[in-house]
């Protein structure tokens, strides 16, 4: 089962590799990982998309919590979070395909950010599942290049991560 | 007062109460050694190899309960400590390892003797630090010691570049330390503790299964007290030996692959296992699918990751084992009637266990012509002091020691349980002897393992550390040979150490004393003579070459499928 985990970490030297090597050393999967500073000085937030059964997920969160630099681990396994991902994709767009690409872009509320006579570059943001759907539709038209940021997630409701 | 980083390091060690360090000089720690030259508050022991220095710090830590400290230079000095660090990490031993590093300006340039020891040790330390500013040094040392000894203990490495050792700053050691992202949970949840006592009082076939956590958490008294009050049988892992007196009738000895038949039968038939500071290692559980099929499991551990890692758990309690056990005692004291009922209800269970003990006790066939290793171990127990400290290597001799020595006190067995490091015994004994110059310290080794750090005899002689080294010599890498005999058609591939070594001459060459015998009738005499010597001694016993460690649960088999005689 796919899980999205937020990890709040001290912005210390080597913290990214501590987290990454924990996953590789213990044989856990990483589907995507993003990291950037938060509004609080010295704190960064990682969002990790991972897979595993309940027991593996429990180990992942416990092992992450055990790292000295990890302040908090939040497992968004249910619908308690909103997830977003950004995709930049360069698509072949010639002749009749140009209109088709534009239609798809419109449906997904994406944007064209670069144009050539033979291609469009598209910027899209949304739930990762939606991004998959967008790419499914674009794929037959010819994907030249694809970049995804990986998911970021934030809890729903009035409360922040501190509760 | 302003001082340089090297001096600050030593002042920090002094503030932490460190009296002994094990270290090896080199280019990037020469400034530390320059300060040490006139620093009288710390006893420094120079091993002959950094791996041994790290094991010695580990042995010191296991024997005393304090944080062991090792120093090594950058590059090869640092990489030589890695086996020692990994050994300590697997067994949760509190240590601080200080490594020199090339000057900060050169880091990443492939400088002479540069290695990324922070990267290398990331997965075998509890935490590690690179000190980039001398102003941070005191706080980092404070944090290093705090992290090493608190919660589930472990080794912490501090990498100290040469320019930071030279740079000057005001020294002030922080009184307190607060790490917002590191707060070990020490207090077991009161409701969970209550439930545990209730489950225990209602059980019919309970077993307390004890690991090294009880020794690390200084909870042997509480454990013994609880087990005796409720008359619950106790089995320990290799790391837990000494936490409960093995001469008590409630003791089942060690469980697992080479554990006693009765311990493994008790686990298999139990209806309630109380795991205390143990982690259900594969050497303990055997085949997981058939492990303790009818037992509920209560798991008490300070480290939440140990719980539910390998087996299902019915009642987890995260907390300091000493605190949790003490509260369990208090709670059961309040329910005197139920305790009486429990004891009565346990009578048939004790009978079952007594039957298993009679049916298949630990044993061996004595011989009048060739020395049986088990006999040597029994004689060592008989002739050594009650509080003697035993260090072992890894392999057959380690298991015979675990089976036959009979450990009655905590911190009297030093052994590499998790990593299984050959070459650990001799330097670990050295560290323990440095901590307790007056106590009897015995290193029990095989002929394979002892040769992995044999150079440390020089350190023993130089520092007047009177370690008694026992070598059970079968000219084999015995445990691997045993597996080859049982599971690989006796194809003894590369396990025969064909060159006979004259260990008496070897001892002599180092300025130590050496004895050797191959006669069962001389075992006692050799041990007595060796124990009389004031300095370090080698006792070589040429033992039955193909003696096996039995009983044995073959790898992947269930605990109740023990090979008793092969």
Determine contact: B182 vs chain A, CB below 8 A: yes
Say yes or no for a CB contact (<8 Å) between B181 and A13: no
Closest B-chain CA to A15: B122
Distance from CA of A81 to the nearest CA of B (A): 23
Residues of chain B in contact with residue A22, where contact means CB-CB under 8 angstroms, are: 123
Which candidate in B11, B16, B35, B50 is catalytic? B50
Q: Minimal Cα distance from B307: which residue of A?
A: A59
Asked if B309's CB is within 8 angstroms of A59's CB, the reply is yes
Is B112 annotated in the active site? yes
Cβ count near B177 (within 10 Å): 15
User: With an 8 Å Cβ cutoff, is A62 touching chain B?
Assistant: yes
Cα distance between the two ends of chain A? 26
Q: Name the minimum distance, in Å, from the CA of A13 to any CA of chain B.
A: 8
∠ CA B168-B113-B427, rounded to 5°:
90
Q: Which residues contact B179 (CB under 8 A, 6 or more apart)?
A: A68, B143, B146, B147
DSSP B543: B
Strands A81-92 and A152-155: antiparallel
Encode pLDDT of A27-51 as tens digits.
999 999 999 999 999 999 999 999 9
Has B162 been annotated as catalytic?
yes
Q: Is B308–A58 a contact, with Cβ atoms under 8 angstroms apart?
A: yes
| Host H or E run for residue B462 | helix B457-462
CA A80 to chain centre: 16
HEC profile for B119-132?
HHHCCCCCEEEECC
Residues of A in contact with B182 (CB under 8 A): 68
Structure tokens at B85: 């660090």
Q: How far is A54 from chain B (nearest CA, A)?
A: 11
Among A66, A69, A70, A72, the strongest candidate for a mutation testing the B interface, having the largest count of B CBs within 10 A, is A66
* Residue written as token pair 């497992």: A75
- A55 at B interface, C-beta within 8 A: yes
In B300-319, the residues whose Cβ lies within 8 Å of chain A are 303-305, 308-309
**In the predicted model, is pLDDT for residue A145 greater than 90?**
yes
How close B159 comes to chain A (CA, Å)?
Answer: 13
Domain boundaries, chain B: 2-170, 190-359, 373-542
Cβ contact A71–B127 (<8 Å):
no
In this structure, are strands A119-126 and A111-116 parallel, antiparallel, or unpaired?
A: antiparallel
CB contact under 8 Å between A14 and B179, yes or no, is: no
Among chain A residues, CA nearest to B121: A18
Q: How far apart are CA A149 and CA A126, in angstroms?
A: 11
Cβ–Cβ gap A14/B181 under 8 Å: no
Largest CA distance in chain A: 57
Cβ <8 Å between B305 and A13: no
Q: Which domains, from first to last, does chain A contain? A: 2-77 (3.30.70.260), 82-152 (3.30.70.1150)
Nearest chain B Cα distance for residue A44, angstroms:
12
Do B373-542 and B190-359 fall under one CATH topology?
yes
Looking at the complex, does the CB of residue B139 fall below 8 Å from at least one CB of chain A?
no
Would you call A66 and B304 a contact, using CB atoms and an 8 Å cutoff? yes
B305/A62 Cβ within 8 A: yes
B181–chain A Cβ distance below 8 A for any pair: yes
Task: Tell whether B158 lies on the interface with A, counting CB pairs under 8 A.
Answer: no
Q: Give A59's contacts in chain B (Cβ within 8 Å).
A: 305, 308-309
- Active-site residue flag, B515: no
**Tokens 């000894």 appear where?**
B149
The answer to whether the CB atoms of B181 and A58 lie below 8 A apart is: no
Mutation target among A8, A64, A68 for the B interface, most CBs of B within 10 A: A68
DSSP strands (E only) in B111-163: 127-130, 155-161
What is d(CA B76, CA B53) in angstroms, rounded to the nearest whole number? 14
Report chain A residues whose CB lies below 8 A from the CB of B308: 55, 58-59
Q: What is the pLDDT of residues B363-388, one digit of tens each?
A: 999 999 999 999 999 999 999 999 99
pTM (2 decimals)?
0.96
Q: What angle do CA A125, A128, A129 make, to 5 degrees?
A: 120
Query: ipTM for the complex?
Result: 0.90
How close is the nearest chain A Cα to the Cα of B129, in Å?
Answer: 9
- B181 contacts A17? CB cut-off 8 A: no
Out of B123, B180, B181, the one facing A25 most closely (by C-beta) is B123
Instruction: Compare CB distances from A21 to B123, B304, B305 and report the shortest one's residue.
Output: B123
Distance from CA of A104 to the nearest CA of B (A): 46
Tokens 């409720």 found at: B230
Q: Tell which CATH architecture fits domain B373-542.
A: 3-Layer(aba) Sandwich (3.40)
Phi-psi region of B173 (alpha: psi -120 to 50; beta: other; left: phi over 0): beta
Q: In 3-state terms, what secondary structure has residue B544?
A: coil
The number of CA neighbours under 13 Å toward the Cβ of B135 is 0
* Dihedral pair phi/psi, residue B201, rounded to 5°: -70, -20
* Three-state secondary structure readout of B187-243: CCCHHHHHHHHHHHHHCCCEEEEECHHHHHCCCHHHHHHHHHHHCCCEEECCCCCCC
Q: HSE of A20 in the Cβ direction (CA atoms, 13 Å)?
A: 9
CATH topology of domain B2-170: Rossmann fold (3.40.50)
* B113 in active site: yes
What residues contact residue B170 under an 8 Å CB cut-off, 6+ apart?
B1, B2
CATH code of domain B190-359: 3.40.50.1220
How far is it, in rounded angstroms, from Cα B536 to Cα B471? Answer: 13
Positive or negative torsion for Cα B414, B415, B417, B419: positive
Residue B130 touches chain A, beta carbons under 8 Å: yes
Distance from CA of A59 to the nearest CA of B (A): 6
Decide if pLDDT at A108 tops 80: yes
Q: Nearest CA to A11 among A47, A51, A38?
A: A38
* Residues of chain B below pLDDT 50: none
- Name the residue of chain B whose CA is nearest to A8's CA: B181
Angle, CA A120 vertex, CA A114 and CA A125 arms, to 5°? 80
SS3 content of chain A, % helix, strand, coil (to 5): 30, 40, 30
B184 near A CB under 8 A: no
pLDDT digits (tens, 9 = 90+) for A53-107: 988 999 999 999 999 999 999 998 777 899 999 999 999 999 889 999 999 999 9
pLDDT of residue B566: 65
Task: Give the gyration radius of chain A's Cα atoms.
Answer: 18
pLDDT digits (tens, 9 = 90+) for B54-64: 999 999 999 99
């Amino acid at each position: 089962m796919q899980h999205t985990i937020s990890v709040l970490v001290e912005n210390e030297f080597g913290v990214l590799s501590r987290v990454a090597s924990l996953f590789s050393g213990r044989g856990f999967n990483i589907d995507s990982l993003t990291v950037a500073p938060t509004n609080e000085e010295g704190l960064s937030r990682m969002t990790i998309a991972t897979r595993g059964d309940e027991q593996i997920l429990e180990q992942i969160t416990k092992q992450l919590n055990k790292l000295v630099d990890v302040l908090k681990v939040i497992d968004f396994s249910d619908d308690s979070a909103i997830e977003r991902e950004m995709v930049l994709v360069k698509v072949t767009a010639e002749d009749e395909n140009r209109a088709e690409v534009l239609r798809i872009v419109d449906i997904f509320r994406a944007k064209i950010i670069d144009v050539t006579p033979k291609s469009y570059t598209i910027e899209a943001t949304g739930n990762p599942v939606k991004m998959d759907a967008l790419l499914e539709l674009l794929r037959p038209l010819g994907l030249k290049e694809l970049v995804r940021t990986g998911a970021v997630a934030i809890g729903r409701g009035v409360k922040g991560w501190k509760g | 007062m302003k001082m340089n980083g090297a001096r600050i390091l030593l002042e920090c060690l002094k503030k932490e109460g460190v009296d002994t360090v094990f270290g090896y000089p080199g280019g990037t720690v020469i400034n530390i050694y320059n300060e040490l030259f006139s620093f009288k508050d710390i006893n420094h022991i120079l091993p002959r190899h950094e791996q041994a220095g790290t094991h010695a710090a580990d042995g010191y830590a296991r024997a005393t309960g304090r944080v062991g400290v090792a120093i090594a230079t950058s590059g090869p000095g640092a990489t030589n400590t890695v086996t020692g660090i990994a050994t300590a990490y697997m067994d949760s031993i509190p240590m601080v390892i200080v490594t020199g590093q090339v000057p900060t300006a050169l880091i990443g340039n492939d400088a002479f003797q540069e290695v990324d020891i922070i990267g290398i040790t990331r997965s075998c330390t509890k935490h590690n630090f690179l000190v980039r500013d001398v102003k941070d040094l005191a706080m980092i040392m404070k944090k290093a010691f705090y992290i090493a000894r608190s919660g589930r203990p472990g080794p912490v490495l501090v990498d100290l570049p040469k320019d930071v050792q030279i740079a000057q700053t005001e020294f002030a050691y922080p009184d307190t330390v607060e790490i917002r992202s590191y707060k070990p949970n020490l207090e077991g949840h009161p409701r969970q503790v209550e439930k545990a006592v209730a489950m225990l009082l209602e059980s019919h076939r309970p077993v307390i299964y004890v690991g090294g956590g009880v020794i690390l958490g200084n909870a042997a008294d509480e454990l013994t007290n609880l087990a005796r009050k409720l008359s619950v049988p106790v089995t320990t892992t290799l790391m837990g030996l000494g936490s409960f007196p093995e001469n008590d009738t409630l003791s089942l000895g060690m469980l697992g692959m080479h554990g006693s038949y009765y311990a493994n039968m008790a686990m298999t038939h139990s209806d309630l296992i109380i795991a205390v500071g143990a982690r259900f290692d594969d050497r303990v559980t055997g085949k997981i699918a058939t492990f303790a099929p009818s037992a509920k499991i209560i798991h008490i551990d300070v480290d939440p990751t140990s719980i539910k890692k390998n087996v299902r758990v019915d009642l987890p309690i995260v907390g300091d084992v000493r605190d949790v056990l003490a509260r369990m005692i208090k709670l059961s004291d309040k329910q005197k009637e139920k305790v009486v009922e429990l004891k009565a209800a346990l009578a048939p269970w004790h009978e079952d266990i007594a039957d298993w003990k009679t049916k298949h006790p630990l044993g061996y066939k004595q011989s009048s012509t060739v020395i049986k290793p088990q006999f040597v171990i029994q004689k060592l127990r008989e002739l050594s002091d009650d509080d003697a400290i035993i260090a072992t290597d890894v392999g057959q001799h380690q298991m015979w020691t675990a089976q036959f020595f009979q450990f009655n006190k905590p911190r009297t067995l030093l052994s590499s349980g998790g990593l299984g490091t050959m070459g650990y015994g001799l330097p670990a004994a050295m560290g323990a002897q440095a901590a307790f110059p007056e106590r009897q310290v015995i290193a029990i080794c095989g002929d394979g393992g002892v040769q992995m750090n044999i150079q440390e005899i020089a350190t023993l002689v130089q520092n007047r550390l009177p370690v008694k080294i026992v070598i059970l010599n079968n000219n084999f890498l015995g445990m691997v040979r045993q597996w080859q005999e049982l599971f690989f058609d006796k194809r003894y591939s590369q396990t025969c150490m064909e060159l006979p070594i004259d260990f008496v001459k070897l001892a002599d060459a180092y300025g130590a004393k050496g004895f050797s015998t191959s006669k069962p009738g001389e075992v006692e005499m050799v041990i007595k003579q060796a124990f009389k010597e004031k300095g370090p001694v080698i006792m070589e016993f040429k033992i039955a070459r193909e003696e096996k460690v039995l009983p044995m649960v073959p790898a992947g088999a269930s605990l109740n499928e023990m090979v008793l005689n092969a």
